[in-house]
C-alpha cells in the first residue's frame, strides 16, 4: 500500500486543491507527475449507469447497456439481508469489469411522506430496516474491492426545493429516525465514501456542516473514507473543506479550487484540512487502483436471471381473498393494462439504468393460457371507451382478470415530488370496470411508494410488485402462478389516504424551510400510537402458505443496559407449500418519561420453511434496542423499567409478547432549583429522603380538616388523590409560601447537596 502521507507532502497546494474537486462529471483528477490516476465513479445504486461521453447527473443521456436490478423500494420489502448482499456482489463484479471505483449508492433516506419523488430509491420508513439492508448491500459490493457511496447524508426526504431547503429537525429525531441508516452502515460495513445531501440541516448546508461530517460521522461513528458532495451541492467550498467535505462533485470549473488556495494563503483555512481531504481521497483511489480486476467477467444474461429471482423475493402479496392466487396454469387468464406489456420497473433520474433487455409479464407468460388487453395508454394517461370495452370483454372471457397498474414515470421521479397519493384516474376507472365484469380480479402494482386504492373492496387480490428491475415480468408471472411463493413484506405503511400521514401538515415546508414537526412519529410509529386504521400496515405480507409463531423465549427476565438479551422464537410452516416467513421483533417501552412510539422494529429474519417444518430464530438485543436519544446528555439512554418484546408477521400481527426489565446503569444529571416541582424531586430517592419530613408538614397545612372555613361536603370532595396531585405539581418554593418559611435554610442545603451529587 502506498505511503499516502508522503505522497500528499509532495503535492503543491494547487494540486491538492485540485484533487478536492472532480475532473468532469464522473472522474477524480489525476496528478500525472506523481502517478495519481483519475478514477471513475458512477450511479447506481441498483445497477450501473456508466456514462462515457456527455455526462449528466439526471439520467438524460444514455449510459452503457447494463442490468437493472430491483430498486430499493422493492429490495427492502424482501427483508432479506443475504439476498441484497448477493445483489451487491453482482454489482461489484460489474464495477470491476467496467473499472468503476465507486458505485453511487445505496440511497437510504427515510420515507417520511409517500409524496417524496425519490421514495422508489429509498428503502423504508423504518431506520433499522433501512440500515440493515444498506449495510448488507455495501458489504456485498465492497467484498469485490469496489467502493460505495451511501447517500444522501442527511435528512434529504423531499425533492421539493431540494438544493436550498433546510430540514429543520430536532436532535432526538435526527438521531432516532434520520441518522441510524447511515450510522448502522458506517459501523457494520464501513462504506468507502459518503455522499452529503443538497439540503441544509437546521440552516447549515450538509456540505459545510462540521458537526455532521466530522463530529458525528467520523468522530462518533468512526467513518474512515471520503465524503463527496452530491452533484452541485457545494455552496461555500472553503467552509466545506474545514467541515470535512473532501471531494466536490462534479466540479466548479476551477473556481472553488482557487478559493481553497486563496483561503490557505490568506490564513483563513488551515492547510492541514486540505491535506486531510487529499489523504482520504487518495486512500480510496489507491485502494481501488491496487485491487483492480478488469478481467472480472460481467455475465449480463446471468444477472438478468438473478435480477428476476430477486424481484420475485421482493413482491408483497397485500390481499388474497378466497385464495384466488396462485393462478392455475390451465385456466384462461386475462392480463390487462399496458404495464403487463411494458412494465414500469425503475424510476427516473440519476438512478435510471439503460437495461440491456427487459422481460414483460406478457412475454414471460408465453405458452400459458393468457390473453392481453392494453386497458390504458401510459403516454396519453387515458383509458378510452374502446380500451375499457376491450378490457371488459377480455375479463369476461377469462376465469381471472389480472390488471397491471401503478404509477407512470412522470408521476414519481428524482427532482420533484408527487402532489397526491392517487393512481392515474384512467387506471382506477379500468380496475373498477374490470372488477365489475369479473369478480375474480387481481391487481398487480408497479409503483415506488404507496398509492390510494379506492377499488380495494372490489378486487380479490393485490400483488405489490414495486419497481422490480428489468426482469420483473418473469418474476411476476412466477409469483402469480405459484412457482415462487411470495415472501415480501411492506417496508412502509400504506395509509388509507394521504391526509393520514404524520408529515401531511408540514411536508414540503414553507419557502426554504421544512420543519419535521411530527418528530420521531414517522410511519407506523405514528399510526400505532394513534391506533389508526391503515390500508396495509408496516411489515405486512401474505404467503400461499401459513406460518405460526410460538414459544417466545428470553435469555433473562431482567438485564442491565450494558447486557445483551437473546430472544428466540419458533416459526412453523403450517401450510402445504414451501415458503419464507419474515419474523419481526418489535420493542416497546411500557411506561416512559420521554414520549415514545408504542413499538419499534429491532430485529427481523427471513426464514425458509418446508411444509410442516419448524425453525428457531434468535435475535440479540442490546442497549440500542431499548434506548431513546436523550438530549440532556446527548447520548442514548435507557430508562429503567419494563419493555415489551413482541414477535410476529407484521407490525399489526404480533401474536407473541414477553416483558423484560432493563436497569439503567447511567444516572441522568439533574439540576434542582426552587422552581423544581415535587413530582420530579420525589422521583429521586435522595431528594425524597430529605423532603419527606417537610412534606408531612405541608400535607397537614393542606388538609381540609385543618381549614376552619371548609364544609364537611368539601372535605369529602378533596380526595387523597387530589391532595397528592396538588402537591405533585407544586414547586419547591411552595413550601415557603404555605407556611414553611422556617424550612428555607434546610431546603437550600438540600438543593446544594442534591446538585453536587
Q: What order of strands is seen across the sheet that includes strand 226-229?
A: 40-42, 100-103, 147-153, 193-196, 226-229
Asked if residue 417 binds ligand BGC (CB under 6 A), the reply is no
State the nearest-atom distance from the C-beta of 38 to ligand BGC, in Å: 17
Asked if residue 231 binds ligand BGC (CB under 6 A), the reply is yes
Would you call 461 helix, strand, or coil by DSSP?
A: strand
Q: What are phi and psi of 285, to 5 degrees?
A: -55, -50
Q: How many residues bind ligand BGC (CB under 6 A)?
A: 7
In contact, 181 and 152? CB cutoff 8 Å: no
State the nearest-atom distance from the C-beta of 248 to ligand BGC, in Å: 13
CA distance 226 to 276: 10
Cα 14–Cα 15–Cα 17 angle in degrees, nearest 5? 65
Residues 104, 317, 463, 747: which binds ligand BGC (CB under 6 A)?
104
CA distance 409 to 344: 7
Q: What order of strands is seen across the sheet that includes strand 579-589?
A: 558-560, 656-663, 641-648, 579-589, 600-609
Helix (H) or strand (E) holding 640: none
Find the binding residues for ligand BGC in span 535-594 (CB under 6 A): none
Closest CB to ligand BGC among 105 and 140?
105
CA distance 505 to 503: 6
State the nearest-atom distance from the C-beta of 104 to ligand BGC, in Å: 4
Q: How far is CA 721 from CA 209, 692, 729, 735, 737, in A?
A: 51, 17, 12, 19, 22
Bond prior to 154 in cis (omega within 30° of 0): yes
Q: Would you say the C-alpha torsion 199, 205, 210, 211 has a positive or negative sign?
A: negative
Asked if residue 159 binds ligand BGC (CB under 6 A), the reply is no
Asked if residue 151 binds ligand BGC (CB under 6 A), the reply is yes
State the nearest-atom distance from the C-beta of 64 to ligand BGC, in Å: 15
Asked if residue 230 binds ligand BGC (CB under 6 A), the reply is yes
State the nearest-atom distance from the C-beta of 281 to ligand BGC, in Å: 17
Find the binding residues for ligand BGC in span 36-75 (CB under 6 A): 43, 57
Asked if residue 313 binds ligand BGC (CB under 6 A), the reply is no
State the nearest-atom distance from the C-beta of 352 to ligand BGC, in Å: 10
Which residues on neighbouring strands pair with residue 100, listed in sequence order? Answer: 40
Asked if residue 28 binds ligand BGC (CB under 6 A), the reply is no
Closest CB to ligand BGC among 106 and 588?
106
Task: Kindly provide the residue ranges of all beta strands, DSSP E only, lying in 147-205, ordered along the sequence.
Answer: 147-153, 166-168, 193-196, 200-201, 204-205
Residue (of 35, 41, 92) closest to 286 by Cα position: 35
State the nearest-atom distance from the C-beta of 49 to ligand BGC, in Å: 7
Closest CB to ligand BGC among 43 and 492?
43
Asked if residue 192 binds ligand BGC (CB under 6 A), the reply is no
CA distance 361 to 173: 42
State the nearest-atom distance from the C-beta of 230 to ligand BGC, in Å: 5
Between the two ends of the chain, the Cα-to-Cα distance in Å is 52
- Choosing from 80, 230, 561, 684, which is the catalytic residue? 230
Residues 312, 350, 503, 573: which binds ligand BGC (CB under 6 A)?
350
Closest CB to ligand BGC among 352 and 525?
352
Closest CB to ligand BGC among 91 and 587?
91
Closest CB to ligand BGC among 122 and 128?
122
Closest CB to ligand BGC among 43 and 176?
43
Q: What are phi and psi of 619, to 5 degrees?
A: -130, 145
Bond prior to 726 in cis (omega within 30° of 0): no
Q: Say whether 230 is catalytic.
A: yes
Closest CB to ligand BGC among 197 and 651?
197
* Active site positions, annotated: 230
Instruction: Using CB under 6 A, list all residues that contact ligand BGC.
Output: 43, 57, 104, 151, 230-231, 350
Amino acid at each position: 500500500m502506498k505511503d499516502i502521507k508522503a505522497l500528499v507532502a509532495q503535492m503543491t497546494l494547487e494540486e491538492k486543491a485540485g484533487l478536492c474537486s472532480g475532473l468532469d462529471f464522473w472522474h477524480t483528477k489525476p496528478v500525472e507527475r506523481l502517478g495519481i490516476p483519475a478514477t471513475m465513479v458512477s450511479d447506481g445504486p441498483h445497477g450501473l449507469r456508466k456514462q462515457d461521453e456527455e455526462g449528466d447527473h439526471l439520467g438524460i443521456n444514455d449510459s452503457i447497456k447494463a442490468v437493472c436490478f430491483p430498486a430499493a423500494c422493492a429490495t427492502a420489502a424482501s427483508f432479506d439481508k443475504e439476498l441484497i448482499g448477493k445483489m451487491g456482489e453482482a454489482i461489484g463484479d460489474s464495477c470491476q469489469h467496467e473499472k468503476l471505483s465507486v458505485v453511487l449508492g445505496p440511497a437510504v433516506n427515510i420515507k417520511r411522506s409517500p409524496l417524496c419523488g425519490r421514495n422508489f430509491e429509498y428503502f423504508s420508513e423504518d431506520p433499522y430496516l433501512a440500515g440493515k439492508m444498506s449495510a448488507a448491500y455495501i458489504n456485498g459490493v465492497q467484498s469485490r474491492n469496489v467502493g460505495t457511496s451511501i447517500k444522501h447524508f442527511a435528512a434529504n426526504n423531499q425533492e421539493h426545493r431540494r438544493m436550498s431547503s433546510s430540514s429543520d429537525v430536532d436532535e432526538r429525531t435526527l438521531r432516532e429516525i434520520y441518522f441510524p441508516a447511515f450510522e448502522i452502515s458506517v459501523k457494520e460495513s464501513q462504506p468507502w465514501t459518503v455522499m452529503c445531501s443538497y439540503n441544509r440541516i437546521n440552516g447549515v448546508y450538509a456540505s459545510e456542516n462540521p458537526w455532521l461530517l466530522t463530529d458525528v460521522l467520523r468522530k462518533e461513528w468512526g467513518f474512515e473514507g471520503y465524503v463527496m458532495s452530491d452533484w452541485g451541492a457545494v455552496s461555500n467550498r472553503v467552509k466545506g473543506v474545514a467541515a470535512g467535505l473532501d471531494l466536490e462533485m462534479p466540479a466548479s470549473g476551477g473556481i472553488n479550487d482557487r478559493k481553497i488556495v486563496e483561503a490557505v494563503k490568506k490564513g483563513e483555512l488551515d492547510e492541514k484540512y486540505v491535506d486531510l481531504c487529499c489523504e482520504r481521497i487518495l486512500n480510496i483511489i489507491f485502494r481501488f487502483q491496487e485491487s483492480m480486476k478488469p478481467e472480472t467477467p460481467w455475465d449480463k444474461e446471468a444477472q438478468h436471471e438473478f435480477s428476476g429471482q430477486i424481484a420475485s423475493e421482493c413482491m408483497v402479496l397485500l390481499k388474497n381473498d378466497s385464495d384466488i392466487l396462485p393462478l392455475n396454469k390451465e385456466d384462461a387468464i386475462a392480463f390487462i393494462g399496458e404495464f403487463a406489456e411494458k412494465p414500469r420497473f425503475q424510476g427516473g433520474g440519476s438512478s435510471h439504468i439503460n437495461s440491456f433487455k427487459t422481460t414483460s409479464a406478457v412475454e414471460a407468460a408465453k405458452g400459458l393460457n393468457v390473453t392481453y388487453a392494453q386497458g390504458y395508454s401510459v403516454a396519453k394517461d387515458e383509458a378510452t371507451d374502446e380500451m375499457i370495452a376491450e378490457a371488459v370483454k377480455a375479463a369476461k372471457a377469462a376465469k381471472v382478470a389480472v390488471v397491471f397498474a401503478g404509477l407512470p414515470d412522470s408521476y414519481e421521479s428524482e427532482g420533484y415530488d408527487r402532489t397526491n397519493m392517487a393512481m392515474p384516474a384512467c387506471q382506477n376507472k379500468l380496475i373498477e370496470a374490470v372488477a365489475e365484469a369479473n369478480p375474480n380480479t387481481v391487481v398487480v402494482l408497479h409503483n415506488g411508494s404507496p398509492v390510494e386504492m379506492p377499488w380495494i373492496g372490489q378486487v380479490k387480490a393485490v400483488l405489490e410488485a414495486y419497481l422490480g428491475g428489468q426482469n420483473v415480468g418473469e418474476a411476476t408471472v412466477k409469483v402469480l402462478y405459484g412457482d415462487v411463493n411470495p415472501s415480501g413484506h411492506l417496508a412502509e405503511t400504506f395509509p388509507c389516504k394521504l391526509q393520514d400521514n404524520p408529515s401531511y401538515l408540514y411536508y414540503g415546508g414553507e419557502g426554504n424551510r421544512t420543519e419535521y414537526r411530527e418528530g420521531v412519529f414517522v410511519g407506523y410509529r405514528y399510526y400505532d400510537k394513534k391506533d389508526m386504521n391503515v390500508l396495509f400496515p408496516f411489515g405486512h405480507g401474505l404467503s400461499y402458505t401459513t406460518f405460526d409463531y410460538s414459544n417466545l423465549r428470553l435469555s433473562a427476565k431482567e438485564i442491565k443496559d450494558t447486557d445483551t438479551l437473546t430472544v428466540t422464537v419458533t416459526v412453523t410452516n403450517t401450510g402445504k407449500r414451501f415458503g419464507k416467513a419474515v419474523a419481526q421483533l418489535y420493542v416497546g417501552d411500557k411506561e416512559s418519561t420521554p414520549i415514545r412510539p408504542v413499538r419499534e422494529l429491532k430485529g427481523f429474519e427471513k426464514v425458509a420453511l418446508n411444509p410442516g417444518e419448524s425453525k428457531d430464530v434468535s435475535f440479540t438485543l442490546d442497549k440500542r434496542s431499548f434506548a431513546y436519544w436523550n438530549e440532556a446528555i446527548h447520548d442514548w439512554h435507557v430508562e429503567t423499567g419494563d419493555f415489551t418484546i413482541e414477535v410476529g408477521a407484521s407490525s399489526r400481527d404480533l401474536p407473541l409478547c414477553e416483558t423484560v426489565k432493563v436497569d439503567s446503569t447511567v444516572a441522568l444529571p439533574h439540576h434542582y432549583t426552587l422552581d423544581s416541582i415535587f413530582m420530579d424531586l420525589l422521583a429521586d430517592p435522595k431528594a425524597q429522603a430529605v423532603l419527606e419530613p417537610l412534606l408531612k408538614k405541608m400535607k397537614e397545612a393542606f388538609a381540609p380538616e385543618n381549614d376552619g372555613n371548609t364544609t364537611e361536603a368539601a372535605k369529602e370532595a378533596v380526595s387523597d388523590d387530589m391532595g397528592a396531585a396538588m402537591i405533585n405539581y407544586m414547586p419547591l418554593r411552595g413550601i415557603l409560601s404555605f407556611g414553611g418559611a422556617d424550612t428555607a435554610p434546610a431546603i437550600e442545603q438540600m438543593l446544594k447537596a442534591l446538585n453536587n451529587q
